[in-house]
Structures are given as C-alpha cells and as structure tokens.
Structure 1
C-alpha cells in the first residue's frame, strides 16, 4: 500500500496572517499542492484563527470541487459545536478529531479513548451520518484502539512528534518506530485505517512507511513549507535583486 500526502496549509496561513496582506495566498498554494500530486488538503481552524481562517474554508472547498474533484478536504480540530458546524458547512471528506486545548501551540497528544468514549460517540455518529470519514488523533500505542473502533472511528492518526524529534538520534528513532509498528499492527487487526502526522520530513518518511505498511495518509505542513523555503530561497533572492536593477 502506498500512502498519500495531504498538504497541511496552516504554516502558509500563519505566515500570511503576520501582515494585513493577501499573500502568501492559501488558495494559490493549495492549488499548487494538488496540481503536483497531493491527494488532499488539511486545515486546522482554531478558535483564534491564528492560521487558517474560517473564511478560508469555503474557498478551499470550491477549489477542490471545481478543479480537483478527486482530492479530499481534511479538517482537523477539537470538536466544539462551532467546529462541527464548520466541518458540515465545508463538507469535509475527512474530519480528524484532536483533544487540543484551544491555547495549545500544536496538537501534541492523542485521545484518552476510554475516558472520552461517551463524549466522542455521538460526535462520530453525527459526522458519519453526513458521510464524513472520521479519524481520531492517537498516541502511538495499541492501548484504547479497540475503544476507538467500537466508537465507530474509521481511522486513527498516530501522533509522530516523538519520532520526528529523534532526528539526530538513530537509536531513539528505532525505539519510536517500534512503538508505531506495534500500534499500527493493532490498528490493522481491528480494521482501523492508519494516518500519521507531525514532524514528518522527506528524510524520516521512508522508515515510517516501512514501520507502518498499512499507512493510508500523512498530513504534512511545517517541514514541507520549510523545504519549499530552502529550495526556493536562493532563486527568489536573485529575483528581488534583479527587480532593483535599472530597467
């Protein structure tokens, strides 16, 4: 099985929001990602709109519907009533539910499935009733995956931050991959699809794919945006210098 890439646009939106200007344009970069083979787009509309804004969602939905109808729109977030309404209005193809506090800088842990089961059950049923696939953010452990499956989740997204954080320690990376391997096998045995996200890079993706042979999708934004800056910064610097020259 070959995993697909959903490009997370939050980092681009956060850069845009530093100025009261329309660039970098989230819609433009979403189009570039899909035109170059990404299978979908991911956004995380937080309550303070510090990166993706609520107003971005209809435009991204239209982009997919009109230009890339085979692509998917993945909306992730903490399941408040407002968030669920956003997912419904934007007709998300996949909703990834995360247990974030609104003040968190980024998602950094999975659900306690047993403790949150009765809260999640009607939410999952509501989303699936509107033909949205539901993925639950999960720590890389088999614990609780049976509960996630019983609740009706279609997939889990394993939090790969600890693995991504081992970029300079090969032994630590192997330990984290072993955890992911065990969790992925447990998910597969339960019939849960497996997604993954956080701190994934071109360098660490191959080993992750080997550890998770049933991996369906990765959501990547920060490293992808950083690499785009790396590979395009030199040429862009030259363009600005040329613009300063007399005509």
Structure 2
C-alpha cells in the first residue's frame, strides 16, 4: 500500500512543435505508457483497447487519475491536434479505476486478527449484489446471517482484551464456515459480531439452527447471556444496505 499510495511518478515532459503525424519522432516524445495510444490515434484504429491498457498500467505504476488524464490529453494534442474523444477518456479512466479498486480490495479483503473477511470486503460484496440484473431478484435471494457473541455481559468478568476477542470471533467464523462451506462470505462486523452473506434458500433456517447450537455449545454459560444468531434481510437499495451494515457493526 505504501508503494501504491506514496509513489508519485512525474510523467516526462515533451517540447512543443511535434507534428501530428505518427512518425517515430512523435512517438518518442509521448508520455510514458502512451506510445501505443499515439499510434492508435494516428492510425485511427484500436484506440479504446490501448487506452484501457494504458489505464491499467498507470494504476499499477501508482499514477494518479489526473496524471492519466493529462497524459492522454497531451498525447491527443501532439498526435491529432485536439482533445481526445470521450470514449477514449472513458476507457482510460474505467480501466484505471477498476485496477485501483481491485488493488484496494486485495488489501482490505481479510481482517488481520481473525482471518475472516473484513467488513470492507463484505460491503463490496453487498454492493455487487445491488449491481446484478435484475437487482431486486439478486438481493432477495440473499440474506445476512448475524452472530452476536456475549462479550462483557457478566459483571464478574475481567474486561476481555482485543486478542481474546479476536480469537473468539475467529472461532465463531470457523464454525460458520463449517455450516456454510460453499462460497459464502464470512466476515467480521464490528467488535463482537460475525456475519455470513448467504443464499436465502429452503436450507437457510436449518443451517442457522445448527450454527446457533454449535456456538452455544462453546460460548453458552449457565445462567449467562446466550449467543444470538438471526437472519437479517437486505434492503432494496445499496445505500440502505450500507447503513444496515454500519448499524450491525455498532451493536
């Protein structure tokens, strides 16, 4: 992350007076990563593909969005004598954004203490559901199974340290993976909850009962608070789903 966020690469400056042809002199004076873009502008073919490749490469280099835009504009002015077409700008920025977002998702995929998926990763998975067509059906076919462990409810207990809390969450997550062994996302949510993004099918209720029994067998205490496990439906809109996740994290 340090290399990605902190590395700033100054794109090479070029002098004025370059012709609008696709000559070797023109290509040699173009910004880094934009040689192929210049050739595509000169030939009039394949522009969107090479812009997408340039966007990906610049994101991996750590270049900012503004650097990418400035370089594309500079290339277009030098080769074609005007601003780049909208489709080229869109291809460049879409590729830059997707590559950057993919890199950030890799960094935030796992919670380092528990090994569970992070809350940020769960949030991105929920957003993906809202983008699937038709959105209403995709969202309705899924639900969150929430497990709330009884931390600090007994006044006689000493305060639970962060490491112990993380270990209890990790154990709860492993039990959840036992019950939901397919491609369900099992994530840490807040300080004391685990959430599973699961399919809402005819087996979901039975699985929730099994998970509750497993957790109570480990976490349950005579006369003490019980583990809470419940099914949480997903709201219709992505912003409302984000608010729901924030609320669960604060619980």
TM-score range, shorter chain: under 0.3
**Normalized per residue, which structure has more strand?**
1
What TM-score does the superposition give when structure 2 sets the normalisation length? 0.23
What TM-score does the superposition give when structure 1 sets the normalisation length? 0.23
**Normalized per residue, which structure has more helix?**
2
